[in-house]
Copies of this chain bind each other. A is one copy, B any other.
Amino acid sequence: MRRSPGEHHSGLDDAIDYLLSSGGKRIRPTVAILTGRMLGVEKERYITLAASIEMLHTATLVHDDLIDGSLLRRGIPTLNARWSSGPTVLTGDYIFARAAYLAAKTGSLPLLEIFARTLMTIVNGEITQLFDQESPDWMQSYLNRIYAKTASLFEVATEGICLLGDFDSRTVQALKQYGCNIGMAFQIVDDVLDFIGEEERVGKPLASDLRQGILTLPALYFLDEHPEGNGLANRLRTRALEEAELEAIIRQIRDSSAIRQALAQAEQMSAIARKQLTIFPECPEREALCELADYIVRRTF
């Protein structure tokens, strides 16, 4: 990821170093690498795709944090907290280009097509979130949103690897389902940790989505059982609550069964993902993918 293709302004390499050194769990590339090894894909190619996916993810985070005005990510200042918006937008663009360059280096045109499609899906999800403050079905909106935001790129990490070789549709479908389901589960757990995680380990303020008027699964389950669910939902979405009222709601969500329900939903998706793996012969990579699906729902940050 750090290997620069050509001479560019040192500020760009520094920014990429800074972003990559902040860590992150690197789950997407891990999934790609394990899938590539399990299927016997050429190492150079699956490593390149893994790097491309993490770069695409990083680029979207740079623009997201700018748009949301987030000042912390993974416990360290975001680029937009350090720079003005111009260089931040451009650095995101540059990282998109690096991601596309790496994707081209995998040597698979079908992969490039789903790569471009996935970027469209991710951006479309964010635009929809920005523009559609009202939605007829909040649960469906939520599922669409987390697919676009997270699961779509996990899908590239598994389906995309299949496009680097010649695999039957049963293999492709099973891995696509695996990627999609762990991606959905991963985002649901993120949304749960946003409520119950330790602020320092999560690396950002608690209930950050709700504070922005975004209803995630714990909030939706909580509202489902609340006597004034609909009215309260609208007030939360339009950020019409006083600070003290909002804090009270956050505490109530943390203490409610909504957290357990959301985790059960994630667990169910993780189980579907693990089940997909049973069609593959036993091997260390299959075992690791199985454990990873398990880890995703048990992690605490």
Interface size on A, residues (CB 8 A): 44
**A62 → B minimal CB distance (Å):** 10
The stretch from A28-36, A110-118, A195-203, A290-298 touching chain B is A110-118
**Complex: how many Å from CA A301 to CA B84?**
33
Q: Assuming A63-B89, A89-B63, is B127 touching A12 (CB within 8 A)?
A: yes
Contacts of A104 in B (CB 8 A): 109, 112-113, 115-116
Contact of A120 among B8, B107, B127 (CB under 8 A): B8
Would A96 and B94 count as touching, CB distance under 8 A? Answer: no
Would B98 and A120 count as touching, CB distance under 8 A? Answer: yes
Contact of A87 among B101, B105, B115, B131 (CB under 8 A): B131
Contact with B along A180-193 (1 / 0, CB 8 A): 00000000000000
Which residue in chain B gives the minimum CB-CB distance to A59?
B93
Contacts of A123 in B (CB 8 A): 12, 90, 93-94, 97
Q: Which residues of A approach B to under 8 Å, CB–CB?
A: 5-6, 8-9, 11-12, 60, 63, 66-67, 85-87, 89-94, 96-98, 100-101, 103-105, 107, 109, 112-113, 115-117, 119-120, 123-124, 126-128, 130-132
